[in-house]
Copies of this chain bind each other. A is one copy, B any other.
């Protein structure tokens, strides 16, 4: 039998609140018997909602009360200072205290990052945690970081992102040598700013599988397994991608609903269009890792549904089981020791 894990869930976080988180928890427990889910939030609300769910296995759904809630647009500094009993903070505290091995939150990203960093601290040698998620590609998927935790990253930070992304890809995909690409505005060595050039130098010196610069269109081509970039760039690239996908699906719906003929065509094509949508369903890729911390914290998209939040819980389970933080730490120490020796 598998060793049982406990994952703390920030029940009050996200745009859609407890209903989505609780439905996701039930969905995950039904599928796997190696997890307990520690529900963190307003006990009364959680208990009353659970009571209405006939199929809830209460032994595997312990509750930890938290009296506050971090707002989606709250300043991280404000949350850190005045929300010490928020569901988000208490969920992270559970990880710190060893009562959970990971936590998952759909709440305010900035507050989650600031709180996780304050409570758990970064791994030795890691300056800044980074946000990393997987994205679909033509050939499978790729990992991209940083997605917004850090702006104005230095070459050393980008090197740390490359190493952290490598360990995540190794752990989740079982890929022994994930290919790393550094996001830039040209594949030629001459292009790009000084930061990415210096980062390329740092990343290529270690034992990482560095494959050079990639341009934006290669994020989705499957050319590399890990895409490394500053958080400002990564966030804009990710959000722009969401924008394109939304626009494309908008136009597709509009063309198919134009008249009776196109509607009929749409009915005929429906199963195909559904299969297509499943392929790029963002819920399947939900669950971004906050890498570089002494513990596992997973950020779910704020507006996701139960299926999406369940994906994020699964990501948390994999990251813990594969000991990603431990691997990041030992790999980093090895490279730093080698650098010193040279």
Contact = CB atoms under 8 A, between A and B. Distances in A.
A336 interface: no
Given A217-B246, A236-B183, A251 B279 contact: yes
Interface string A237-252: 1111111111110111
B243 A221 contact: yes
Given A151-B193, A236-B216, A280 B251 contact: yes
Interface size class of A (residues with CB under 8 A): 35 or more
Contacts of A215: 235-236, 239
A207 interface: no
Interface in A38-70: none
A238 to B, nearest CB: 7
Contacts of A29: none
Contacts of A245: 244, 248
Interface in A65-96: 73, 75
A3 interface: no
A264 B240 CA distance: 34
Contacts of A237: 216, 236-237, 240
A15 interface: no
A242 B218 CA distance: 9
A191 B183 CA distance: 22
A233 interface: yes
- Residue among A190, A248, A256 with the highest chain B CB neighbour number at 10 A: A248
Given A248-B248, A251-B276, A275-B255, A216 B243 contact: yes
A260 to B, nearest CB: 12
Describe A's contact surface by its main secondary structure: helix
Given A138-B247, A245-B244, A280-B247, A232 B269 contact: no
Contacts of A152: 193
A305 to B, nearest CB: 18
Given A244-B220, A246-B220, A233 B235 contact: no
A304 interface: no
Interface string A120-155: 000000000000000011100000000010011000
A244 B219 CA distance: 8
A75 B191 CA distance: 10
Nearest to A191: B110
A174 interface: no
Contact of A255 (B251, B255, B276): B276
A99 to B, nearest CB: 33
Interface of A: 73, 75, 110, 136-138, 148, 151-152, 183, 185, 188, 190-193, 215-221, 229, 231-233, 235-248, 250-252, 255-256, 258, 262, 264-266, 268-269, 271-273, 275-276, 279-280
11 contacts: A73-B188, A75-B190, A138-B247, A152-B193, A217-B242, A220-B246, A236-B237, A241-B241, A255-B275, A255-B279, A265-B271
